[in-house]
């Protein structure tokens, strides 16, 4: 009989091992497919700037946010797939070893001790990875953003789970470990704001000054070069922002697309100087 054959137990064990490997492979494939579907769903979504006007500038913001959402979802998907593979294949390997009557208790004990040793030795590395994962999940910043990371201020050139690479205004490259970043100031996420302070004499006609600045803002809004690519709202005149010993300071503010505030500020200064000169209103040196 087959049950009494000397090779029957070996065949049964081999069949069991094959079934374990097949089940592990199927579970891994299913887990990866589920993660892929979740990632694809997370990578797509509606416009995040529907509260703004419709136009080329807003479309650019949407395209940037959608691309960042896609990259963030793909990165997290890759991490989840790796974790799923390690867990499933590791469990299958231990089950196979147990089926082959190889004691796994000493192995698990050794792995546990090794894990504790590595954990103590790599605390900073683990901290960096955990901080990097939360940074990606929360979309705190992305490539192209101008951020203040505490240790350095600059444009983000690369983001990994362990480090963030920045380039400052002097061209210096900074490598900042994610675990050391306790707070982040993002100057270019979603939208930015440009503002210019306009100091005028105390004896200036404030109504006329405000009218000139408001008219200038309307002209800038009507300029298609800026309206379609640089600014997302009509410039606003906040009125008298502060009083100094020699001047009254008006503030002009405009909401811009990310990282365009410097260019818009320069254009505002140029137009303000020209408009005030034409109206015969002098500026006071700061």
pLDDT band at 169 (very low <50, low <70, confident <90, very high): confident
DSSP string, 139-198: T---TT-EEE-SS-EEEEEEE-SSEEEEE-TTS-EEEEEGGG----EESSSS-EEEEEEE
pLDDT band at 252 (very low <50, low <70, confident <90, very high): very high
Q: Are residues 80 and 56 in the same domain?
A: yes
pLDDT band at 276 (very low <50, low <70, confident <90, very high): very high
CATH number for position 250: 3.30.70.100
CATH number for position 182: 2.30.30.60
Q: Are 41 and 50 in contact (CB under 8 A)?
A: no
Q: Are residues 215 and 154 in the same domain?
A: no
Neighbouring-strand partners of residue 242: 249
Q: What is the mean pLDDT of residues 154-170?
A: 87
Q: Which residue has the higher pLDDT, 67 or 47?
A: 67
Q: Which residue has the higher pLDDT, 273 or 286?
A: 273
CATH number for position 89: 1.10.287
Q: Are residues 40 and 9 in the same domain?
A: yes
Q: Structural domain tally of the chain?
A: 3
Q: Are residues 245 and 173 in the same domain?
A: no
Q: Residue 79: is its pLDDT beyond 70? A: yes
- Does residue 274 belong to any structural domain of this protein? yes
- Does residue 14 belong to any structural domain of this protein? yes
Q: What is the structure's pLDDT at 213?
A: 92
Q: Residue 69: is its pLDDT beyond 80? A: no
Q: Are residues 10 and 109 in the same domain?
A: yes
Query: What distance in Å separates the CA atoms of residue 35 and residue 31, rounded to the nearest whole number?
Result: 6
- Does residue 176 belong to any structural domain of this protein? yes
Q: Residue 272: is its pLDDT beyond 90? A: yes
- Does residue 223 belong to any structural domain of this protein? yes
Strands 146-148 and 153-159 turn out to be antiparallel
Query: What distance in Å separates the CA atoms of residue 23 and residue 26, rounded to the nearest whole number?
Result: 5
Query: What distance in Å separates the CA atoms of residue 25 and residue 13, rounded to the nearest whole number?
Result: 18
Q: Are residues 115 and 7 in the same domain?
A: yes
Q: Are residues 8 and 112 in the same domain?
A: yes
Q: Residue 157: is its pLDDT beyond 70? A: yes
Q: Are residues 117 and 14 in the same domain?
A: yes
The average confidence (pLDDT) of the chain is: 80
Q: Are residues 173 and 112 in the same domain?
A: no
Query: What distance in Å separates the CA atoms of residue 151 and residue 174, rounded to the nearest whole number?
Result: 9
Q: What is the structure's pLDDT at 50?
A: 43
Q: Which domain holds residue 98?
A: 2-121
Crossing angle of helices 56-99 and 105-121, rounded to 10°:
140
Q: Examine the fold and report which residue of 121, 151, 167 is the final residue of a domain before the chain moves on.
A: 121
Q: Tokens 């395209």 label which residue?
A: 63
Q: What is the structure's pLDDT at 52?
A: 44
Q: What is the structure's pLDDT at 54?
A: 46
Q: Are residues 145 and 79 in the same domain?
A: no
- Does residue 126 belong to any structural domain of this protein? no
Picking from 92-96, 213-217, 234-238, which range would have the lowest pLDDT averaged per residue? 92-96
Tokens representing residue 247 in the block = 């001047």
pLDDT band at 274 (very low <50, low <70, confident <90, very high): very high
DSSP string, 251-272: EEEEEESTT-HHHHHHHHHHHH
pLDDT band at 14 (very low <50, low <70, confident <90, very high): confident
Q: Are residues 24 and 117 in the same domain?
A: yes
Q: What is the structure's pLDDT at 142?
A: 79
Q: What is the mean pLDDT of residues 22-46?
A: 82
């Amino acid at each position: 009989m087959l049950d009494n054959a000397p090779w029957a137990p070996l065949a049964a064990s081999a069949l069991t091992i094959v079934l374990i490997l097949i089940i592990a492979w199927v579970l891994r494939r299913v887990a990866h497919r589920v993660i892929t579907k979740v990632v694809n769903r997370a990578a797509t979504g509606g416009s995040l700037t529907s509260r703004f006007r419709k136009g080329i500038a807003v479309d650019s913001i949407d395209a940037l946010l959608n691309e960042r959402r896609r990259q963030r979802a793909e990165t997290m998907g890759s991490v989840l797939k790796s974790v799923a593979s390690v867990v499933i294949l590791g469990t299958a390997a231990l089950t196979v070893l147990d089926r082959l009557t190889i004691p796994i208790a000493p192995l698990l004990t050794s792995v546990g001790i090794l894990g504790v040793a590595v954990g103590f030795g790599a605390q900073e590395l683990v901290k960096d990875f955990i901080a990097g994962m939360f940074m990606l999940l929360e979309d705190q910043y992305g490539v192209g953003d101008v951020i203040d990371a505490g240790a350095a201020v600059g444009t983000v050139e690369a983001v990994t789970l362990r480090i963030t690479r920045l380039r400052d205004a002097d061209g210096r490259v900074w490598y900042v470990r994610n675990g050391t970043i306790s707070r982040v100031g993002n100057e270019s996420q979603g939208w930015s704001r440009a503002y210019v302070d306009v100091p005028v004499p105390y004896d200036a006609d404030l109504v006329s000054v405000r009218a000139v600045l408001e008219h200038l803002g309307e002209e800038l809004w009507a300029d298609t070069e800026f309206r379609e690519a640089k600014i997302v709202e009509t410039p606003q005149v906040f009125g008298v922002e502060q009083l100094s010993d020699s001047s009254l300071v008006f503030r002009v503010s405009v909401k811009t697309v990310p990282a365009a505030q410097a260019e818009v500020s320069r254009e505002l200064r140029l137009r303000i100087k020209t408009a005030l000169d034409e109206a015969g209103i002098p500026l006071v040196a700061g």
